[in-house]
C-alpha cells in the first residue's frame, strides 16, 4: 500500500489529471507495480539531479524531444517537420541507433526523465523499442501517425510499462483522411482499440488548425474518444515555419485561440482525460518552456535546438555532449532575454519574435538546421 501511495503522490505532483487518469490503470495492473515504483524513484532522482545542476547555474530540462528519424511513410498536408527540414530534405545521414542511445544515456545521467519520440515516423527507426528496454526507469512517449502498427509491433509495445503511444488524428474520418490520406482514421482508431484491450497506455495527438478547432470544441467529439478508451489528448496549435509562409492561414486567429483555450480549460476540469494544450498550458509557467526551461529538441541529424519550432543551433551532439550544448550561449541568452519567452498573442513566443530570434542567432553564431 505504501508503494501505491508513493506512485499516487508522484502523479499528483506532476499533474492532478495524471493521477486521475493513470492511477486506476496502475491499480488494475498489479504485476507492474514494481516497475512503476522504479519509474517513480527515477523521477525523484532526476528531480534532485536537475536541482543540483540549477544551483550551479545550469538548467537541465525534464523532457527531451527526439526527432528520431527523418523518414516518414506519409505525406501529410502542411507537415511542419517537412517544412522545417526534419523530413527527407537532408543529404546528411540521420543519427544511428547507437548515437541515439548515447544521447539518452547522458540525458538520463544529468536528470532528463522523459523522452518524446517524434520524427518523421519513429517506428521507421530500427531497434526503437530497445531504448525502452535499456532505460526501463525513464518514460518514452511515442508520437506516431499510427499506420505502421501490426501484431508484431503491438506485442513488442505491450512489454514496456515505460512506453506511451500517442497516435496522430485530426478529427473525424473526413478531416483526418483529408490531411493524412485515405484510410488513416480507421487504422488509427482500430489500433487505439487494440491498445485499450491490451492495456497499453495510449492517446491521441492533434494538430489544431482553423479547419478543425471547432471539432475539438464539441463536447460530443471529446466524449467519443473517451468512450473509445482514450486517456490522453495532446492538442498542439499549428505553427508555420515563418510568419509569411503560405501555410500561415491555417494558424488560429487571436479570437479563435481565446475561444478554443476557454473550452479546453473546461474540458480539463470536467473530462476523464489528460488534456495537454500547447502552447496554452505554458501560461502556467509564465511563458515558453523551450531552451531547457521545460524541454529541448534534437533533430534527426543531432543538432540541439531550443524547440522543434526554432530551427537554430550552436551544437551538434555528434561532436558535443548534451551538457555542453545545454550550457550554450544560445540557450542561456534565450532564457535571460525574458521578452523572447514571455507569453505572446500568437501560438508560440519564439515564432512571434522571429526577427529578434534571427538577430540573436547571428549574435551568438548559431546556424540554421534542417537545410543541409
Write the pLDDT tens digit of every residue in 326-336.
999 999 998 88
Could you give the CA distance from residue 31 to residue 238 in angstroms, rounded to a whole number? Answer: 40
Specify the higher pLDDT residue, 257 or 20: 257
Residue 164 backbone phi and psi in degrees, to 5? -125, 130
Grid coordinates representing 56 are 550551479
What contacts 228, CB < 8 A, 6 or more positions away? 189, 192, 193, 196
Write the pLDDT tens digit of every residue in 178-202.
988 899 999 999 999 999 888 888 9
Could you give the CA distance from residue 272 to residue 131 in angstroms, rounded to a whole number? Answer: 30
Grid coordinates representing 318 are 555528434
Write the pLDDT tens digit of every residue in 120-147.
899 999 999 999 999 999 999 999 999 9
pLDDT at 293 over 80: yes
Could you give the CA distance from residue 358 to residue 128 in angstroms, rounded to a whole number? Answer: 35
Could you give the CA distance from residue 149 to residue 141 in angstroms, rounded to a whole number? Answer: 15
Q: What local confidence, expressed as pLDDT, does residue 80 receive?
A: 57
Burial 242-274, CB ≥16 within 10 A → b, else e: eeeeebeebbbeeebbeebbebbeebbeebebb
pLDDT, average across residues 237-249: 66
Write the pLDDT tens digit of every residue in 161-177.
999 999 999 999 999 99
Alpha helix (H) residue ranges in the chain: 2-14, 16-28, 33-55, 80-83, 97-109, 130-134, 151-157, 173-180, 184-197, 219-227, 254-270, 322-326, 329-336, 349-352, 354-364
Grid coordinates representing 76 are 501529410
Confidence of residue 88 (pLDDT cuts 50, 70, 90): low
Q: What local confidence, expressed as pLDDT, does residue 26 receive?
A: 75
Could you give the CA distance from residue 122 to residue 187 in angstroms, rounded to a whole number? Answer: 17
Q: What local confidence, expressed as pLDDT, does residue 176 receive?
A: 93
What number of CA atoms fall less than 13 Å from residue 135's CA on the CB side?
23
Could you give the CA distance from residue 81 to residue 248 in angstroms, rounded to a whole number? Answer: 15
* Percent of the chain predicted with pLDDT > 90: 58
Could you give the CA distance from residue 169 to residue 222 in angstroms, rounded to a whole number? Answer: 13
Angle between helices 354-364 and 329-336 (to 10 degrees): 140
* Percent of the chain predicted with pLDDT > 70: 84
Angle between helices 2-14 and 16-28 (to 10 degrees): 150
What contacts 37, CB < 8 A, 6 or more positions away? 3, 6, 7
User: If you average pLDDT over each of 9-18, 19-28, 269-278, which comes out highest?
Assistant: 269-278
Burial 58-94, CB ≥16 within 10 A → b, else e: bbbbbbbbbbbbbbbebebebbbbbbbbbbeebebeb
Could you give the CA distance from residue 250 to residue 256 in angstroms, rounded to a whole number? Answer: 12
Neighbours of 361 (CB within 10 A): 18
Write the pLDDT tens digit of every residue in 55-84.
999 999 999 999 999 998 777 766 655 555
Specify the higher pLDDT residue, 186 or 348: 186
Amino acid at each position: 500500500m505504501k508503494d501505491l501511495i508513493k506512485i499516487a503522490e508522484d502523479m499528483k505532483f506532476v499533474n492532478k489529471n495524471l493521477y486521475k487518469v493513470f492511477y486506476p490503470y496502475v491499480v488494475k495492473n498489479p504485476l507492474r507495480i514494481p516497475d512503476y515504483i522504479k519509474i517513480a524513484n527515477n523521477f525523484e532522482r532526476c528531480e534532485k539531479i536537475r536541482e543540483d545542476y540549477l544551483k550551479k547555474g545550469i538548467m537541465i530540462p525534464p523532457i527531451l524531444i527526439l526527432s528520431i528519424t527523418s523518414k516518414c511513410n506519409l505525406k501529410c498536408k502542411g507537415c511542419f517537420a517537412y517544412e522545417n527540414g526534419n523530413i527527407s530534405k537532408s543529404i546528411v545521414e540521420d543519427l544511428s541507433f547507437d548515437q541515439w542511445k548515447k544521447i539518452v544515456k547522458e540525458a538520463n545521467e544529468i536528470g532528463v526523465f522523459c523522452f518524446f519520440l517524434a520524427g518523421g515516423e519513429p517506428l521507421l527507426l530500427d531497434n526503437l523499442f530497445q531504448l525502452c528496454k535499456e532505460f526501463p526507469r525513464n518514460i518514452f512517449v511515442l508520437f506516431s501517425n499510427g499506420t505502421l502498427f501490426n501484431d508484431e509491433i503491438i506485442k513488442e509495445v505491450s512489454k514496456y510499462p515505460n512506453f506511451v503511444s500517442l497516435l496522430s488524428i485530426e478529427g473525424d474520418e473526413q478531416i483526418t483522411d483529408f490531411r493524412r490520406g485515405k484510410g488513416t482514421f480507421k487504422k488509427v482508431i482500430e489500433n487505439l482499440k487494440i491498445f485499450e484491450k491490451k492495456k497499453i497506455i495510449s492517446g491521441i495527438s492533434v494538430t489544431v488548425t482553423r479547419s478543425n478547432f471547432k471539432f475539438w470544441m464539441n463536447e460530443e467529439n471529446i466524449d467519443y474518444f473517451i468512450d473509445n478508451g482514450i486517456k490522453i489528448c495532446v492538442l498542439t496549435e499549428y505553427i508555420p515555419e515563418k510568419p509569411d509562409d503560405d501555410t500561415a492561414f491555417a494558424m488560429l486567429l487571436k479570437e479563435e485561440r481565446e475561444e478554443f483555450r476557454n473550452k479546453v480549460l473546461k474540458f480539463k476540469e470536467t473530462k476523464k482525460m489528460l488534456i495537454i494544450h500547447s502552447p496554452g498550458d505554458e501560461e502556467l509557467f509564465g511563458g515558453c518552456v523551450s531552451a531547457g526551461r521545460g524541454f529541448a529538441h534534437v533533430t534527426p541529424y543531432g543538432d540541439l535546438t531550443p524547440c522543434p519550432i526554432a530551427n537554430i543551433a550552436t551544437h551538434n551532439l555528434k561532436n558535443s555532449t548534451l551538457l555542453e550544448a545545454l550550457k550554450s550561449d544560445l540557450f542561456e541568452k534565450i532564457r535571460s532575454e525574458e521578452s523572447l519567452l514571455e507569453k505572446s498573442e500568437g501560438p508560440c513566443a519564439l515564432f512571434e519574435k522571429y526577427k529578434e530570434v534571427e538577430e540573436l542567432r547571428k549574435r551568438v553564431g548559431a546556424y540554421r538546421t534542417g537545410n543541409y
